[in-house]
Amino acid sequence: MLPFARVTIIGLGLIGSSVARAIRRSMPTVRLTGYDASPAVRKRVAELDFLDDIADTAGAAVTDADLVLLCVPVGAIGEVAASFAADLPADAIVSDVGSSKAGVAAALAVALPGVAVVPAHPVAGTEKSGPDAGFASLFDGRWCILTPAGDADPTAVMRVSAFWEGLGARVDIMDAAHHDLVLAVTSHLPHLIAYTIVGTASDLETVTRSEVIKYSAGGFRDFTRIAASDPTMWRDVFLANKEAVLEMLQRFTEDLTALQRAIRWGDGDTLFELFTRTRAVRRSIIEEGQDDAAPDFGRQH
Amino acid sequence: MLPFARVTIIGLGLIGSSVARAIRRSMPTVRLTGYDASPAVRKRVAELDFLDDIADTAGAAVTDADLVLLCVPVGAIGEVAASFAADLPADAIVSDVGSSKAGVAAALAVALPGVAVVPAHPVAGTEKSGPDAGFASLFDGRWCILTPAGDADPTAVMRVSAFWEGLGARVDIMDAAHHDLVLAVTSHLPHLIAYTIVGTASDLETVTRSEVIKYSAGGFRDFTRIAASDPTMWRDVFLANKEAVLEMLQRFTEDLTALQRAIRWGDGDTLFELFTRTRAVRRSIIEEGQDDAAPDFGRQH
């Protein structure tokens, strides 16, 4: 029994196209419709052939849908939802994949009054963008967090949950504010720091750009991966989840200042104590199946 | 024509054992001797069988050597060198693999007066430690930086250079102070930041440790890899390269504060401009062969 028979995906980049491919893999009888605001993306998706239909407008894409899944930057969600509101079937469920959730819930409540909305966030991705970058196994073993409002229809929540489990994900449910705090530390702050250090390294006068590139295997190259993520998506995340990001950033800065002081005063014990403690976190992540156990992420040597 | 016929490696962890394995692969006729201060490591190395001889003291290990390669934490280099100084053949060349170079040069000048010293730093590694973690291809395509003093014997420099090229590395020569500045940004600062954020995430009251682990695929897990690196090695690096690390940290903090301000004031353009610029750095690193071109470091999905 499929949770949804007709799924429409709005936004066909890395995540939207991965969802489509995962549906094709795991629920091949689902009728799959898609729309992307970019004509070039729509053309490319037609070539890649992972949808049954590609619509020319968001409204045309949703007319038949059981589930409408918004896979666009969080800053665009309200506007996109408003653009198809008049065409949405009365019993359709609307969900999304945005990285911040309180703002999304508010935007969808305004754009789609009375509609069954179950916001979701599959915690998965790569640094690549666009419909060519997607793949069917992206969500396997990853967590998808649902943040339904307190008065959401339990059946709608169960169906969206079953949908993500069907795509290979594990599902958790929490309130939107807590999601935004958790993701501020596990995703948003890491991206902000990575973008910052790559910028810092690019702007030095005493060390050339070429030196930064050549000797990046000392650790820097790790940060460049997430700093290559989609700029529009990440701009929107930081603007949408401002409070939680600023709170986590304040914590981080305090801790960094403490380490700066330890280095300045030659306090090796403080450094050693932290560096020992952080090893255990890596071990837990690998035990939980949330990263590759191979050294160096399994990079090819 | 081999650059060295008899090589002694002092310190048989990730790097020392990788050098030994790379020598076995590329220069199989080299006579390879090793020593490690830990009896347990010496025992394990005997089982792993990648050396011709394992000595019981550093002095006994160097008596016959053409090249003595110190693969110990930079804070221990002076003491270890002093421990074998009396046994060192007059024509032996001493080198090392330490991640900071000005301090190493000073320590070796004191411990080994009159000896031909060519400090080196292969910019390569993984987050794993110990003799089981090493592998022969670790240095393939990576850069090894030599930092000989201005009055170093050019023949000694050429031989050490040929040695590293023989192990698959590319060789650059620069002065120790510049090396320490370059590596502060490409390696030391990234490690410091990674250790910090993993510590910050572990210490929150509002987000549980279990949540940090489960949702780490949002970006955080990337940082946990280098934050799982050897604590002793990294404590020593920060103490040894204090000035350059503090300078780079100051730059980073200024840049982070600017982004913090942009988030607080909703200045999306500043965020977008940086996030677009940083993508190019990743592309250059991949074009230069310094990282895996596959998405997500080639992690298995």
How many DSSP H helices and E strands does chain A contain? 13, 9
What is the per-residue pLDDT for A301?
Answer: 59
The residues facing A171 across adjacent strands are: A144
What is the per-residue pLDDT for A287?
Answer: 95
Instruction: Calculate the average pLDDT of chain B.
Output: 97
Reduced to 3 states, what is the DSSP secondary structure of residue A123? coil
The residue that leads in pLDDT, A300 or B210, is B210
What is the per-residue pLDDT for B1?
Answer: 83
How do the domains of chain A map onto residue ranges? 6-174, 178-291
CATH topology of domain A6-174: Rossmann fold (3.40.50)
Q: Is CATH 3.90.930.60 correct for B178-298?
A: no
User: Is B229 an interface residue toward A (CB < 8 Å)?
Assistant: yes
Q: Are A185 and B203 inside 8 Å of each other by CB?
A: no
Reduced to 3 states, what is the DSSP secondary structure of residue B63? coil
Residue B142 pLDDT exceeds 70: yes
The residues facing B70 across adjacent strands are: B10, B96
Residue A280 pLDDT exceeds 80: yes
Closest by CA to A201, choosing from B234, B198, B278, is: B278
- Quick one: CA dihedral A162, A167, A171, A173, positive or negative? negative
DSSP letters of A133-166? G--TTTTTT-EEEE---TT--HHHHHHHHHHHHH
A16 conformational bin, left if phi > 0, alpha if psi -120 to 50, beta if neither: alpha
Give B200 to chain A, closest Cα distance, Å.
6
Per-residue pLDDT averaged across A117-133, rounded?
97
User: Is A249 an interface residue toward B (CB < 8 Å)?
Assistant: yes
Closest B-chain CA to A265:
B239
What is the per-residue pLDDT for A300?
Answer: 77
Q: Are A278 and B226 inside 8 Å of each other by CB?
A: no
Alpha carbons B133 and B44: distance in angstroms, whole number: 12
CB of B184 closer than 8 Å to CB of B161: no
Q: Could you identify the residue written with the tokens 């895996």?
A: B292
Q: What's the CATH code, domain A178-291?
A: 1.10.3660.10
Q: Of A144, A187, A200, which to mutate for an interface test with B (greatest number of B Cβ within 10 Å)?
A: A200
Instruction: Calculate the average pLDDT of chain A.
Output: 97
Per-residue pLDDT averaged across B255-267, rounded?
98
* Residue in A189, A206, A271 nearest the CB of B197: A189
Alpha carbons B111 and B105: distance in angstroms, whole number: 10
CB of B57 closer than 8 Å to CB of B82: no
Alpha helices of chain B — where are they, by DSSP H?
14-26, 39-48, 58-62, 77-84, 102-111, 154-166, 176-183, 189-202, 209-214, 220-226, 231-240, 242-264, 268-287
List, as ranges, residues 34-73 from A with C-beta within 8 Å of B.
none
Task: For residue A220, list chain B residues with Cβ-Cβ distance below 8 A.
Answer: 185-187, 190
Tally A–B CB contacts below 8 A: 363
Structure tokens at B166: 């023989």
What is the per-residue pLDDT for A126?
Answer: 95
- Quick one: CA dihedral A258, A263, A269, A275, positive or negative? positive
Residue A40 pLDDT exceeds 80: yes
Q: Of B210, B282, B300, which to mutate for an interface test with A (greatest number of A Cβ within 10 Å)?
A: B282
What is the per-residue pLDDT for A1?
Answer: 83
Alpha carbons A244 and B256: distance in angstroms, whole number: 16
- For B19-74, the pLDDT digits (tens) are 999 999 999 999 999 999 999 999 999 999 999 999 999 999 999 999 999 999 99
What is the per-residue pLDDT for B300?
Answer: 77
Q: What angle (nearest 5°) sits at the alpha carbon of residue A64, between those of residues A73 and A55? A: 55
List, as ranges, residues 131-170 from B with C-beta within 8 Å of A.
133, 135, 137-138, 140, 142-143, 145
Residue B301 pLDDT exceeds 70: no
Residue A14 pLDDT exceeds 70: yes
Per-residue pLDDT averaged across B202-228, rounded?
94
Prediction ipTM score: 0.94
Q: Which of A15-19, B49-53, B155-159, B296-300 has the lowest mean pLDDT?
A: B296-300
Structure tokens at A123: 């915690």
